[in-house]
Amino acid sequence: MQPDFEKAGGLIPAIAQDAQSGKVLMLAWVNEFAWKETIRTGWAHYWSRSRQKLWKKGESSGHTQRIIEIRIDCDADAILYLVEQKGAACHEGYASCFFRSLGTGGDEPKIMEPKIQL
């Protein structure tokens, strides 16, 4: 069973979750090329939609994600990377890109975690 890139128009969403804490770290996109690089190397790779290029997470920041396990969903059009995250997943310096809470939706955003000291 492999991701169904064809059905999804070439790109599927990939969730990165910290394998130890269960924290959802980020959501990014994977095409077949990024998928194969992830499997070949054991490091999370994505496809940057804005830069239209392969992106090894942490290639410039050093904040890499080692793959512990990969899950695939029932429709094979989303994947879950369980990772060992080095440093901050978010480019803003937070452990998770989902550091802002909206409460149950009507609220002003509230920052839920400190920046990581590296």
- What is the amino acid identity at position 80? L
The shares of helix, strand and coil residues in the chain, as percent rounded to the nearest 5, are 10, 35, 55
39 vs 29: CA distance, rounded Å: 15
Position 42 contacts a copy of itself (CB under 8 A)? yes
- What is the amino acid identity at position 56? K
Provide the mask over 57-96, with x wherever binding to a copy of itself is found by CB under 8 A and - wherever it is not.
----------xxxxxxxxx--x-x---------xxx-x--
For a copy of itself, the binding residues (CB under 8 A) are 1, 13, 15, 17, 21-24, 26-27, 35, 38-39, 42, 67-75, 78, 80, 90-92, 94, 97-106, 108-109, 112
